[in-house]
Amino acid sequence: MSKLEDIVSLCKRRGFVFPGSDVYGGFAGTWDFGPLGVILKKKIMDEWWKFFVEDREDIYGIDAAIIMNPKTWEASGHTATFADPLVECKECKSRFRADKIADGINESVTTEEFLATHTKCPVCGKENWGPIRKFNMMFSTHVGAVLPDDDKEVAEKNIAYLRPETAQGIFTNYKNVYDTIYPDLPFGLAQQGKAFRNEISPRDFILRDRECSQMEIEYFVHPDTWEDNFETMRKLQHEFLENTIGLPKDKIHEYDVPASDRAHYSKRTTDFMYDYPNGEEELMGLAYRTDFDLSNIQRESGKSMEYRDKKTNETFIPHVIEPSIGVERLFLAVLSNAYTEDEVNNEKRVVLKLPENLAPYKFCVSPLLKNKPELVEKAKSVYQQLRTKYSNVTWDDSGNIGKRYRKQDEIGTPKCVVIDYDTLNDDTVTVRDRDTTKQTRVKIADL
């Protein structure tokens, strides 16, 4: 099993993920994706979009605004209920999310229940806690011309929020889609985009951060068919995670969330847990949101959210099945599964055994010697041919060939293509496999 610190080190060393605002000492809960991280992240998101949207006829894409009318979050319940249990150490004034530092409690923990765990402060080691307080995780901002000396009433009229989930942008556009393309039920709306949560104590690298990317589907169904659709969507999540993304089946575990721990909108939730290097953590969730969101929108907006069945003329508010996954969590699952250490020629080797559909580069092209113009010229020709054919191809002529192999192993490149003097005579190249290190001669035309 890989260690989280090894993955964090690799991510920074090879340009996958950097601490946010690193040059200024960082900024807790924020992360920047470097050149290789951007490619891997995009490939993961593209695979999800292809699987759930492009390859289906019943799911459509939208892209909603990040800042929405504040009434959105009042109707959805986020203004009142989107909160975590905050506890403060009276000794060092450090603040934590109570259910993440104590064992055997959940988000609805009371002060008495927390104190009964006799948890010590992770910072100072003392056991002197204040009361549990609910902390709303939405980031607030002001929209429009608000000045520092405006009175409280003026300022509050201009308060808005950075969205804590992408789902509400889908629900508020349900009627727009229904009125414009009138899809058959069941149908889904999918969205990818940023979400923001003011985490009390961000931790575990990109697992729990304050700015993340989400991929969510709201699948609208007839109320009588939700169970069948829930089961179908549950199986699809496994198919995507295991077959498309390549995560091992034995590291994915389902957890049926009890009513006391479910979100306020959910009547059933199944969390897909994953064995990360730091232990089992939530990878994604599948929730049955009933008609909670659309009914609230209908009540608050005064606009009908009913669907009329084309065959029976029955009208009803659809119920919703929601698969929701955090891109960063999936990104880390892919990296931790791919991270491997072995030995080649009695030397330790770090290799990312990424699936070919996710690897940032499909090929790395190199001349055997960078100071031989004829080899460089031929290698550049092969490089251009492969870039035209595959796009995601890289060039490397730094250091000796062994160092190039080690570098490409660490960034997960499946094949290294080396142009040598035999290439000039017979148009064959050496292709070295990342996982086995086996080298074979292949015609350029067959690459």
Query: What H or E segment, with its residue span, contains residue 263?
Result: none
Reported as a single tens digit per residue, the pLDDT across 208-257 is 889 999 999 999 999 999 999 999 999 999 999 999 999 999 999 999 99
Query: What H or E segment, with its residue span, contains residue 297?
Result: helix 292-301
User: Quick one: average pLDDT of 190-217?
Assistant: 90
Percent of the chain whose pLDDT exceeds 70 = 97
Give CA–CA dist 405/78, Å, rounded: 50
Give CA–CA dist 257/444, Å, rounded: 54
User: Does residue 6 surpass a pLDDT of 80?
Assistant: yes
97 and 212 part of one domain: no
User: Quick one: average pLDDT of 412-426?
Assistant: 94
Q: Is residue 348 part of a domain?
A: no
Region class of 427: left (phi > 0), else alpha (psi between -120 and 50), else beta: left
User: Does residue 82 surpass a pLDDT of 80?
Assistant: no
Q: Do residues 235 and 225 touch, judged by C-beta distance below 8 A? A: no
258 and 311 part of one domain: yes
Q: Is residue 350 part of a domain?
A: no
CB-side neighbour CA atoms (13 Å) of 154: 8
Region class of 289: left (phi > 0), else alpha (psi between -120 and 50), else beta: alpha
User: Quick one: average pLDDT of 361-383?
Assistant: 94
269 and 311 part of one domain: yes
User: Does residue 350 surpass a pLDDT of 80?
Assistant: yes
395 and 325 part of one domain: no
Reported as a single tens digit per residue, the pLDDT across 160-192 is 889 999 999 999 999 999 999 999 999 999 999
Q: Is residue 219 part of a domain?
A: yes
Question: The domain that contains 372 carries what CATH number?
Answer: 3.40.50.800
Residue 84 is predicted with a pLDDT of 84
Q: Is residue 228 part of a domain?
A: yes
Residue 150 is predicted with a pLDDT of 66
Residue 103 is predicted with a pLDDT of 86
User: Does residue 117 surpass a pLDDT of 70?
Assistant: yes
Reported as a single tens digit per residue, the pLDDT across 125-151 is 999 999 999 888 888 888 877 666 666
Helix (H, G, I), strand (E, B), or coil: what is residue 67?
Answer: strand
The total number of residues shown for the chain amounts to 447
Percent of the chain whose pLDDT exceeds 90 = 72
303 and 394 part of one domain: no
For residue 28, give every residue at least 6 positions away whose Cβ sits within 8 Å of its Cβ, in sequence order, or none. 202, 210
181 and 303 part of one domain: yes
Distances (CA, A) of 188 to 61, 162, 299: 8, 24, 22
Q: Is residue 39 part of a domain?
A: yes
User: Does residue 433 surpass a pLDDT of 70?
Assistant: yes
Q: Is residue 351 part of a domain?
A: no
317 and 400 part of one domain: no
Tokens found for residue 112: 């008495």
Q: Is residue 368 part of a domain?
A: yes
Reported as a single tens digit per residue, the pLDDT across 305-327 is 999 998 899 999 999 999 999 99
Q: Do residues 291 and 304 touch, judged by C-beta distance below 8 A? A: no
Residue 189 is predicted with a pLDDT of 98
Q: Do residues 221 and 186 touch, judged by C-beta distance below 8 A? A: yes
Q: Is residue 155 part of a domain?
A: no
188 and 269 part of one domain: yes
Mean pLDDT for the chain? 92
Q: Do residues 387 and 364 touch, judged by C-beta distance below 8 A? A: no
Give CA–CA dist 255/273, Å, rounded: 7
Give CA–CA dist 61/336, Å, rounded: 30
178 and 30 part of one domain: yes
58 and 11 part of one domain: yes
For residue 305, give every residue at least 6 positions away whose Cβ sits within 8 Å of its Cβ, in sequence order, or none. 174, 175, 294, 295, 297, 298, 317
Confidence of residue 1 (pLDDT cuts 50, 70, 90): low
Confidence of residue 281 (pLDDT cuts 50, 70, 90): very high
203 and 294 part of one domain: yes
Domain that holds residue 396: 361-446
Give CA–CA dist 383/389, Å, rounded: 10
- Count structural domains, the chain: 3
Question: The domain that contains 98 carries what CATH number?
Answer: 2.20.28
Reported as a single tens digit per residue, the pLDDT across 26-46 is 898 899 999 999 999 999 999
386 phi/psi in degrees, rounded to 5: -70, -35
Please, what is the angle between helix 4-14 and helix 327-338, to 10°? 100
- Tell me, rounded to whole angstroms, the distance of Cα 95 from its chain centroid: 26
Residue 147 is predicted with a pLDDT of 64
190 and 254 part of one domain: yes
Question: The domain that contains 301 carries what CATH number?
Answer: 3.30.930.10
Domain stops at, among 320, 335, 350? 335
Give CA–CA dist 30/86, Å, rounded: 20
Residue 311 is predicted with a pLDDT of 87
Query: What H or E segment, with its residue span, contains residue 7?
Result: helix 4-14
304 phi/psi in degrees, rounded to 5: -70, 135
User: Does residue 154 surpass a pLDDT of 70?
Assistant: no
The tokens 């960082």 sit on which residue?
26
Give CA–CA dist 405/412, Å, rounded: 10
Residue 411 is predicted with a pLDDT of 95
CA angle (263 as vertex; 262, 265 as ends), nearest 5: 120
Give CA–CA dist 220/237, Å, rounded: 17
Reported as a single tens digit per residue, the pLDDT across 327-349 is 999 999 999 999 999 888 888 89
